[in-house]
Amino acid sequence: MSKVIKILGTGCPKCKSMTGVVSEVVSENNIEASIEKVEDIVEIMKFNVMTTPALVIDDVITIKGRVPSKAEVLALLN
């Protein structure tokens, strides 16, 4: 089943690097997933996170406030 990935962040450098890491992992491993960047603060606050960037996979927050490594993202997606 295709996964729904959301990246929460208002567009700071860390959020951009998280987007980079996640999209590389998805394309390199042919993972079936949609990536959505959530930049609107009102939308972000619906997840009630206090530190950005945050990674949301199928409505579960998996990482907050830091940029993960590729291996970590791959493990989360499998």
Partner 1 sequence: MFDWLQHFADWLIYNVFNVGAETHLGIALNFFIYDTLKILILLFVIVFIMGIVNAYFPIEKLKDYLNKKKLYGLEYFFSSIFGAITPFCSCSSVPLFIGFVQGGIPLGVTFSFLITSPLVNEVAVAMFLGMFGVEATLIYAASGILLGTIGGWVLGKFNLEPLLSDWVKKILENKIEQAKFEEKKKTFYDRLPEITQAAWDIVKGVIVYVIIGIAIGAAMHGFVPENFFNQYLGGGEWWTVPLAVIVAVPMYANAAGIVPVIQVFVAKGVPLGTAIAFMMGTVGLSIPEATLLKKVMSLKLIAIFFSVVTLCIILSGYLFNMLL
Pick 30 or 34: Cβ nearer partner 1:
34
- Phi, psi (5° rounding) for residue 70? -60, -45
Kindly state the smallest distance separating residue 50's Cβ from partner 1, in Å.
4
Kindly state the smallest distance separating residue 29's Cβ from partner 1, in Å.
19
At what angle are helices 13-28 and 70-77 packed, to 10 degrees? 60
14 is a catalytic site residue = no
Q: What angle do CA 73, 50, 4 make, to 5 degrees?
A: 40
2 is a catalytic site residue = no
Which residues contribute to the site for partner 1 (CB under 8 A)? 9-15, 17, 41-42, 44-52, 56, 59-69, 75
